[in-house]
Amino acid sequence: MLKQVSFYLFILIPCMISQMSQVYSQTITPIKVIAFDFGGVIAKSDKSEVNQFLAKELGITEEEADELQNNLKSFSRNGGMEQEFWDQYTHSKGITLPANWNELFDQVRFKSIKEIPGSIQIVKELHKLGYQTALLSNVRMNQARLKRQLGFYDLFHPVLLSFEIGARKPESQSYQILLDQLQVFPQQLLFIDNKDSNVAAAKSMGMDGIVFINAKQLTEELKKRGINLPVKNFNSLSTDSAVTK
């Protein structure tokens, strides 16, 4: 009998200690900061609109336009400037772009950036509850310029962009830079991204993480963590592509 009791105690005590430690950890390290990804969480770009513009202006197919966008993305990611890309492209094709090409291209890209329904409202409600919201985004310089002009980045602090910090998700360095900027423990940070690999990397650093699907699902996940947002009717949430400050 004594041996049986000792055996059960041997099993139960570590479990109880583990559970108590988790509760204690949550008590002393509550979530203070909620960090967001941008593309696919806050807003997304409609490539088809840009493809249609490029196809019409350059006299190419939309498939070729899509490939051209991918080439521009790779060129920029490797440190090339957008103007340099277009100079090389026009030289190779023997064509001349309109004098206001950059302005025209910016206009269509502005229109292609669409807010994901409900995400902006969630961020604003988190502010009302006293949470700091940060941004950690893999993004090119020109894309970041457009999003900044639209006012999206005004909702976040700090705003950490891959081309500025020299690291990209899911590299551990990008998450460490985020922690260093915030000066919080990993357990005090909740990271939200639409890519499993990026959330998994955040969790490996000790953070909590949510894989974003939509605003309703995010609100439910936040509620599980004791963050209750007064957002009930998702059908009425704004879908405007610009931020209303």
- Domains in the chain: ranges and CATH: 33-44+115-225 (3.40.50.1000), 45-113 (no CATH)
- Write out the chain in H/E/C secondary structure: CHHHHHHHHHHHHHHHHHHHHHHHHHHHCCCCEEEECCECCCEEECHHHHHHHHHHHHCCCHHHHHHHHHHHHHHHHCCCCHHHHHHHHHHHHCCCCCCCHHHHHHHHHHHHEEECCCHHHHHHHHHHCCCEEEEEECCCHHHHHHHHHCCHHHHCCCEEEHHHHCCCCCCHHHHHHHHHHHCCCHHHEEEEECCHHHHHHHHHCCCEEEECCCHHHHHHHHHHCCCCCCCCCHHHCCCCCCCCC
| pLDDT tens by residue, 66-125 | 999 999 999 988 889 999 999 999 999 999 999 999 999 999 999 999 999 999 999 999
| pLDDT tens by residue, 194-244 | 999 999 999 999 999 999 999 999 999 999 999 999 866 554 544 443 343
> pLDDT value at position 21?
44
How far apart, in whole angstroms, are the C-alpha atoms of residue 131 and residue 156?
Answer: 11
How far apart, in whole angstroms, are the C-alpha atoms of residue 146 and residue 72?
Answer: 16
CA distances from 200 to 139, 144, 217 (A): 20, 25, 18
How far apart, in whole angstroms, are the C-alpha atoms of residue 146 and residue 113?
Answer: 9
> pLDDT value at position 23?
45
Percentage of the residues of the chain whose pLDDT score is greater than 70: 82
> pLDDT value at position 245?
37
Q: List the beta bridge partners of residue 39.
A: 43
How far apart, in whole angstroms, are the C-alpha atoms of residue 201 and residue 219?
Answer: 22
How far apart, in whole angstroms, are the C-alpha atoms of residue 138 and residue 71?
Answer: 17
How far apart, in whole angstroms, are the C-alpha atoms of residue 180 and residue 195?
Answer: 23
Confidence (pTM):
0.80
Mean pLDDT to the nearest integer, 168-196: 98
How far apart, in whole angstroms, are the C-alpha atoms of residue 124 and residue 168?
Answer: 26
pLDDT reading at 172 higher than 80: yes
